[in-house]
Structure 1
Amino acid sequence: MGTNDASPLEDRLRLWTTPPRPVRGPTPAYTREQIADAAIAIADSDGLDAVTMRRVAGELGAGAMSLYRYVASKEALLELVADRMYARQEWPVPTGRWRQDLWDFAHAHRRALLSHPWLLQVWGVGPTMGPNVLRHFERSMALVDGLGLDIDEMVETVTLISTWTGGYVRQEFDLVNFLRSESDEEIQRELGEYVKQVAGSGEYPYFARFVHEALIPRIDAETRFGRALDRILAGIEATLPDRDAGES
Structure 2
Amino acid sequence: MTVWDRPEPPNRPVPLDRERIVAAAVALADEGGLEAVSVRKVAARLNAGPMRLYGYISTKQELFDLMVDEVQGEILPREQPGDWREALLVLAHRTRQAALRHEWLADLLGSRPALGPNGLALTEATLAALDGLADIDTVMRAVETVSAYSAGAIRREIANLRAERATGLSKREWQRASGPHVTRMLATGRFPALAKAVHDATDVDAETSFATGLDWILDTVATKLTQPPA
TM above 0.5 = yes
Are residue 226 (structure 1) and residue 211 (structure 2) matched? yes
1:32 equivalent in structure 2: 18
2:81 is paired with a residue whose SS is coil
Q: Deviations over 1:159-199 (max 9, x none)?
A: 22222211112112333344452646874554212333444
Q: 1 or 2 for the larger relative contact order (CA 8 Å, sep ≥6)?
A: 1
Gaps of 5+ in 2: none
Residue pair 1:98, 1:144 contacting (<8 A) in 2 also: yes
2:112 is paired with a residue whose SS is coil
TM-score of the two chains, using structure 1 as the length reference:
0.79
Residue pair 1:92, 1:105 contacting (<8 A) in 2 also: no
1:8 equivalent in structure 2: none
Question: How do 1:1-248 and structure 2 match up within 5 A?
Answer: 13-20=1-8, 26=10, 29-91=15-77, 93-150=79-136, 152-180=137-165, 181=167, 183=169, 187-188=174-175, 190-215=177-202, 217=203, 219-242=204-227
CA RMSD of aligned residues (A): 2.5
Which one is further off, 153-162 or 58-67? 153-162
2:4 is paired with a residue whose SS is helix
Distance 1:48 1:179 in 2: 19
Gaps of 5+ in 1: 1-12, 244-248
Among the aligned pairs, what percent are the same residue? 36
Report how many aligned residue pairs link the two structures: 224
CA-CA distance at 1:73 after TM superposition? 2.0
Distance 2:92 2:16 in 1: 34
Q: Deviations over 1:116-165 (max 9, x none)?
A: 11112334323431222111111111111121231x33232222222221
Distance 1:240 1:115 in 2: 33
1:193 is paired with a residue whose SS is helix
